[in-house]
Amino acid sequence: MDSVNDNGSQNIYDNQVFFDGYRKLRENPDSSNVLEEKPALFSLSPDLTGLSVLDLGCGYGENCAEFKRRGAWKVVGVDISEKMLSIAKTENTGIEFINADMSDLSFITAKFDVVFSSLAIHYVKDFARFAKSVAALLNPGGYFIFSQEHPLTTAPLAGASWTRDVSGIALHYNLTDYARGGKRSTTWIVDGVVKYHRTFSELINALTDCGFMIEKLSEPVPTEETILRLPAYAQDLHKPNFLLIKAIKSQPMS
């Protein structure tokens, strides 16, 4: 199950069991994507009017559609999964979708004003190389805005786990292996889902090393209203689900 290509990328979303399970998760209006990640991602977005946008790991193309609604004149979505893109193409018009591995962006020749990536970067093995190629695709002053699973989530080699009381309330998160960067083979919907763990310093240094300035970080947590309505969300106050970074290309690539 956990076969990867030469770039270390796995196309798990084309696995039918995974695809069906993921679709079900995304149909839940109370998912952490809907309640935490999407509001945080769009809060980091600049005004997109008249800008060109590249979305890496675009999935169903939901964010691409929102970028268009927000005024982007050109939106290109890239995804490794044919199944995800077949939905994206059916549900969206006026957006170019490319079926490719975002770990190697050499197939893109155009430059963009903003590169987004929502919850796909933890699937990329070599973040330093990836950040460098994103910088090369951006116009000067362009933004790279991405979300990923929180580094505290990706850290444990045995997968994320919690210590709970007898009623199931989360007492604390079991953090292990934080400083052991690299591949994780996890169980999420199916066994053998490959992700990559990176510490905060690895992420930030990779970005600044290729000329990005970090404009904002975000670790969204549920609102009080969400916790009152859905008490299980209180555990995210111990450990957020997501990390988002907004970086600006501050100098031309050498």
Ligand X SMILES: C[S@@+](CC[C@H](N)C(=O)[O-])C[C@H]1O[C@@H](n2cnc3c(N)ncnc32)[C@H](O)[C@@H]1O
Rule CB under 6 A: which residues touch ligand X?
9, 13, 57-60, 62-63, 78-81, 84, 101-103, 118-120, 123-124
Residue placing its CB nearer to ligand X in the complex, 58 or 211 = 58
CB of 252 to ligand X, least distance (A): 26
Residue placing its CB nearer to ligand X in the complex, 78 or 211 = 78
CB of 25 to ligand X, least distance (A): 9
Residue placing its CB nearer to ligand X in the complex, 38 or 211 = 38
Rg (CA), the chain: 18
Residue placing its CB nearer to ligand X in the complex, 88 or 152 = 88
Give the residue from 213, 153, 163 showing the smallest Cα distance to 184: 153
Q: Check if the beta carbon of residue 244 is closer than 8 Å to that of residue 45.
A: no
Q: Which helix (H) or strand (E) holds 154?
A: helix 151-154
Q: Which helix (H) or strand (E) holds 206?
A: helix 200-209
| DSSP per-residue codes, 96-153 | EEEE--TT--TT--S-EEEEEEES-GGG-S-HHHHHHHHHHHEEEEEEEEEEEE-HHH
Give the residue from 245, 234, 241 showing the smallest Cα distance to 32: 241
CB of 6 to ligand X, least distance (A): 12
CB of 76 to ligand X, least distance (A): 13
Residue placing its CB nearer to ligand X in the complex, 10 or 235 = 10
CB of 33 to ligand X, least distance (A): 7
Closest residue to ligand X in the complex (CB)? 59
